[in-house]
Amino acid sequence: MSQIFDAMISRSDDEKKVVLPRFFKTGKGQYGEGDKFIGVTVPNIRVVAKEFKDVDFEVIRELMKSPWHEMRMCALLILVNNSKKNVSKETFDFYLMQTKYINNWDLVDLSAPQIVGKYLLNKECDVLYRLAESELLWDNRIAIVSTLAFIRNNDLEDTYNLSIKMMRHKHDLMHKAIGWMLREAGKRDPERLYFFVKEWKSQMPRTMLRYAIEKFDVEIRKELMSKPLHTANKRK
């Protein structure tokens, strides 16, 4: 693991070391509170992950426990790289045991569809509904973002079902994630998304609604935004 850390340090950028903690909201009371950054960009982390692709699960487990954001991302990218052809049950189970360390939206988004979603294609996906009920924000985000793999396979059911289940989620990061997945589902079936939004828009947080309808024409967006929105979002 020390070799991987050294490889990261050699690619560290002092400016990024300052900018990244702000971008990922690491201040007190923010969603990324306490996270630490070496200052390495994602392309450079990918280079390191490729260089150390043959490390075993014990090394990956240690990387996942690292206080450094980039080290955890490297671990996840190693798993993703090694799962391009097939996601093993060992990788799937390992991933779900590490979710408390997959603790920012970028870590979830670059790994959940490629590991959880891909593994669950054409399988029972009760685990996503259990994750949706978790008290951990990142479990919730994994649940919905994993369905991107289903969407790419033209299976939209779980995206819509989970969107309804977590419609009233309190966190803006989930509003964005659900809206994003609905938007992606809408690319496959615009009519279904249109009628879904018509039915649920009074309960959809503003951010979720805006993300979901982003690809519709201007006039349709105006129509769908025209009626009163969920009262929780009428803040001044």
60-107 residue pLDDT tens: 999 999 999 999 999 999 999 999 999 999 999 999 999 999 999 999
State the helix-helix crossing angle for 42-51 and 69-81, rounded to 10 degrees.
60
Q: Are 179 and 198 in contact (CB under 8 A)?
A: no
User: Mind listing the pLDDT tens digit for each residue in 174-205?
Assistant: 999 999 999 999 999 999 999 999 999 999 99
The pLDDT confidence band at residue 228, using thresholds 50, 70 and 90, is low
Positive or negative, the CA dihedral 149, 152, 153, 156 is positive
pTM for the full predicted model: 0.92
- Residue 226 is predicted with a pLDDT of 84
Q: Are 131 and 143 in contact (CB under 8 A)?
A: yes
Q: How far apart are CA 174 and CA 207, in angstroms?
A: 10
Which among 148, 222, 133, 134 has a CA at the least distance from the CA of 179? Answer: 148
Q: CB-hemisphere CA count at 13 Å for 181? A: 32
- Residue 235 is predicted with a pLDDT of 43
The pLDDT confidence band at residue 227, using thresholds 50, 70 and 90, is low
223 contacts: CB under 8 Å, gap ≥ 6: none
Q: How far apart are CA 28 and CA 118, in angstroms?
A: 35
User: Mind listing the pLDDT tens digit for each residue in 40-64?
Assistant: 999 999 999 999 999 999 999 999 9
